[in-house]
């Protein structure tokens, strides 16, 4: 698995803590469960149909340019970090930058968004009345409510506005020693409960609460820290104002979908639970001026591997201190949008299958009246036949780009003869139209 260049032990542990067995059922997934919190498939359908989201990590850490863990990793003391926030004056207004982010999401074909409202550094990106020591963008720094601007822009673009929130906050000594410093740990918990209800009630509807960092002292799993956070009560409270809010498993509650974090290859069979692959299109979540960005073929490979295993993909970008999305990311998102403009029917509103994916060779998804084969390597795919259920009637097989493909069904096997000279990458799509 890929370890990002400057990741420290705690960051790596944070990345790994929610990894789950791809073959596992809900019962085997980590975290507390409660039947009254479980949503049914129809309440998740919009999210599964959407397939692709935009993730935004933007906070005062962008000024440091060392990723979103800078406060902790660079050993900032609270006063100097606060000074950085107090003197922060992004060149773009909240409305301008949100508009830019959402315009790009739309152009890229991303159908939902999640913005970091407060990361582990404790800096709230909205006009929070319950922030410890009033550490908010409104009262300490730019004087703007970025969450308000973001949800407003999302609504104007008809893009569901998810919110990321980290209950843990490095500013509290009780985070690092919750049993030794219970008052501080309790104060941190109280901040989280109150801030979450502000977000749920004043910025809703909130379709997704993307919990992160429900752990303690950088140790154990999120579920191990449930004795403090009491995630079931927290999630129940949030659902009172937002009855179909989706949760990640990182509060300690099992959640509505699993997270697979990082740009490591997606492998294994189709998964039996809803899940989301999340990674940054560069090496860090938060802004770094000289970051390396992914190429479109690399991105498409993740996309195909994810959707053919029934996952969603949320793509992160870290805007610069002025709120601008770095140029290489803009270019990449635009290329993705162009690709999706031609191939989107083989992505959106599909579900994985009929066939199990074969790593580096192909995968498949099913849409309303068609099955789509995503072929990653035409040479390796050539010559194979696939199980064909007797109940299906094939009307036509063709490349999504147009030309027909010869398809032969011999009893329960389908064979396809691909045209010669197909490019090896990134993705050749065959549409099997059904009657
Ligand atoms: C990790 C990191 C965090 C990042 C998150 C996104 O948990 O601690 O910095 O926001 O992953 O998935």
Residue 304's pLDDT is: 98
Q: Which residues line ligand 1 (CB under 6 A)?
A: 11, 14-15, 57, 68-69, 212-213, 261, 278, 285
Atom 8 (ligand 1) nearest CA:
14
Cα–ligand 1 centroid distance for 201 (angstroms): 25
Structure confidence by residue, pLDDT tens digits, 39-61: 999 999 999 999 999 999 999 99
| From 212, 225, 275, mutation site for ligand 1 pocket: most ligand atoms within 8 A of C-beta | 212
What's the gap in Å between 325 CA and the centre of ligand 1? Answer: 19
Q: Do domains 24-346 and 353-434 have the same CATH topology?
A: no
CA distance 419 to 396: 15
* Dihedral over Cα of 161, 45, 272, 362: its sign: negative
Which tens digits make up the pLDDT trace of 303-348? Answer: 999 999 999 999 999 999 999 999 999 999 999 999 999 999 999 9
Residue located nearest, by CA, to atom 5 of ligand 1: 212
Q: What is the pLDDT of residue 2?
A: 46
Task: Return the best residue to mutate from 2, 15, 283 for the ligand 1 pocket (most ligand atoms within 8 A of CB).
Answer: 15
Q: Indicate whether 28 pLDDT > 90.
A: no
Nearest Cα residue to 142 out of 210, 106, 94, 108: 94
Q: Is the pLDDT of residue 87 over 50?
A: yes
Separation CA 248–CA 240 (nearest Å):
17
- What is the distance in A from the centroid of ligand 1 to the CA of 209? 14
pLDDT digits (tens, 9 = 90+) for 222-270: 889 999 999 999 999 999 999 999 999 999 999 999 999 999 999 999 9
Least confident of 41-55, 175-189, 389-403: 389-403
Architecture of domain 353-434: Sandwich (2.60)
| Cα of 135 from ligand 1 centre, angstroms | 20
Just give the CATH number of 24-346. 3.20.20.80
Residue 376 is predicted with a pLDDT of: 95
Long-range contacts of residues 8-17, Cβ cutoff 8 Å, at least 24 apart: 8/69, 8/73, 10/69, 10/72, 10/218, 11/69, 11/73, 13/218, 13/219, 14/213, 14/215, 14/218, 15/261, 15/262, 17/215, 17/220, 17/221, 17/222
Nearest residue by C-alpha to atom 12 in ligand 1: 261
Secondary structure (3-state) at 196: helix
Mutate to test the pocket of ligand 1, among 278, 281, 285 (most ligand atoms within 8 A of CB): 285
Task: Give the integer Cα–Cα distance in Å for 268 and 23.
Answer: 8
Distances (CA, A) of 49 to 112, 158, 296: 11, 15, 22
**Domain residue ranges in the chain:** 24-346, 353-434
pLDDT, averaged across the chain:
94
């Amino acid at each position: 698995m890929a370890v990002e260049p400057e990741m420290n032990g705690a960051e790596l542990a944070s990345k790994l803590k929610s990894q789950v067995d791809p073959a596992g059922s809900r019962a085997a997934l980590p975290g507390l469960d409660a039947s009254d919190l479980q949503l049914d498939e129809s309440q998740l359908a919009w999210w599964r149909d959407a397939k692709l989201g935009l993730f935004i990590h933007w906070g005062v850490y962008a000024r440091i340019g060392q990723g979103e863990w800078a406060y902790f990793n660079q050993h900032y003391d609270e006063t100097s970090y606060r000074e950085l926030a107090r003197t922060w004056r992004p060149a773009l207004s909240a409305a301008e930058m949100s508009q830019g982010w959402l315009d790009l999401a739309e152009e890229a074909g991303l159908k939902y968004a999640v913005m970091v409202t407060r990361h582990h550094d404790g800096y709230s990106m909205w006009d929070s009345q319950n922030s410890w020591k009033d550490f908010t963008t409104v009262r300490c720094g730019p004087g703007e409510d970025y969450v308000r601007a973001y949800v407003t822009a999302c609504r104007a673009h008809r893009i569901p506005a998810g919110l990321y929130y980290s209950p843990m906050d490095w500013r509290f000594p009780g985070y690092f020693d919750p049993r030794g410093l219970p008052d501080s740990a309790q104060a941190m918990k109280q901040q989280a409960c109150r801030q979450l209800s502000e977000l749920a009630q004043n910025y809703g509807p909130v379709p997704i609460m993307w919990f992160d960092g429900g752990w303690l002292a950088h140790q154990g799993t999120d579920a191990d820290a449930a004795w403090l956070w009491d995630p079931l009560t927290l999630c129940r409270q949030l659902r009172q104002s937002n009855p179909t809010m989706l949760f990640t498993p990182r509060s300690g509650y099992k959640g509505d979908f699993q997270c697979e974090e990082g740009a490591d290859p997606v492998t294994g069979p189709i998964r039996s639970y809803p899940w989301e692959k999340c990674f940054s299109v560069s090496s860090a979540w938060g802004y770094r001026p000289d970051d390396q960005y992914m190429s479109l073929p690399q991105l498409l490979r993740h996309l195909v591997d994810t959707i053919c295993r029934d996952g969603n993909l949320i793509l992160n970008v870290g805007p610069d201190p002025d709120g601008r999305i770095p140029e290489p990311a803009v270019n990449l998102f635009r290329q993705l949008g162009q690709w999706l403009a031609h191939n989107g029917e083989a992505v959106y509103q599909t579900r994985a299958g009929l066939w199990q994916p074969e790593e580096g060779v192909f995968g498949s998804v099913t849409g309303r009246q068609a099955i789509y084969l995503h072929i990653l390597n035409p040479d390796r795919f050539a010559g194979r036949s696939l199980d064909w259920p007797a109940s299906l009637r094939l009307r036509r097989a063709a490349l999504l780009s147009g030309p027909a493909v010869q398809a032969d069904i011999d009893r329960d096997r389908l064979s396809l003869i691909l045209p010669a000279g197909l490019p090896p990458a990134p993705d050749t799509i065959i549409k099997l139209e059904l009657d």
